[in-house]
Chain A
């Protein structure tokens, strides 16, 4: 079946450090892939997305590339800020489906 696996947290980094949050997926066909972010006390919001292989999604300095050969969609940011502290969810929407499959979420803490 379709599933998403992302690295467990929490991840704690100092400001300006490099961030990678790993995400791999299992899906039939060609799903769309997403990263959502949830700031404290809020609902989830879309951070970036990619709809086909080799697409790169980017937003607010975050990037992720849809790698079909490794079934991965790792999230990266070159220099994190304290304001990036949040929970990050990797997700997929499978072809022809209504439902989005979410990973378990990775909590990021960024220290000043």
Chain B
């Protein structure tokens, strides 16, 4: 069974802390994505990666960075967490061919105090 796992389901951090969210997929997918989901705003793409060491900005990259050193792992980094980054963070992966759906992890609910 295909699987996308995220390092934590719930995380509480303080303003100014550096936060790492990890995502691992076991499907040998080329593409990986980080979204945040907020009530009334749907899913918003933060960053995506279509290959190892490659990254592209999504719609809301400010305040975030990413790292993809291995094909199966895609990390989201909050350099200095702020309260407006309190959200649900979803990781996803997909194959690079027409019509391929994204597979999502269970999400990490991050609270920044």
Measuring CB to CB, which residues of chain A are less than 8 angstroms from any residue of chain B?
32, 34, 36, 41-46, 49, 51, 89, 93, 95, 98-100, 102-105
Contact = CB atoms under 8 A, between A and B. Distances in A.
B74 interface: no
Nearest to A104: B42
- Could you say which of A34, A51, A95, A99 has the most chain B C-beta atoms within 10 Å of its C-beta? A99
Interface of B: 4, 31, 33, 40-43, 45, 48, 50, 56, 58, 90, 92, 94, 96, 98-107
Contacts of B58: 99
Nearest to B44: A102
A95 B98 contact: yes
A98 B104 contact: no
Contact of A46 (B31, B33, B101): B101
A103 B42 contact: yes
A32 B31 contact: no
B42 A32 contact: no
Contact of A49 (B45, B92, B96, B101): B101
Contact of A43 (B48, B96, B101, B106): B106
A41 B9 CA distance: 10
Given A102-B42, A102-B43, A49 B50 contact: no
25 contacts: A32-B99, A34-B101, A36-B101, A36-B104, A41-B106, A42-B106, A43-B4, A43-B90, A43-B92, A43-B104, A44-B43, A44-B90, A44-B92, A45-B104, A46-B101, A49-B101, A89-B43, A98-B96, A99-B33, A99-B58, A100-B94, A100-B102, A102-B43, A104-B41, A105-B43
A56 to B, nearest CB: 14
Given A43-B105, A44-B104, A105-B42, A99 B48 contact: yes
B98 A51 contact: yes
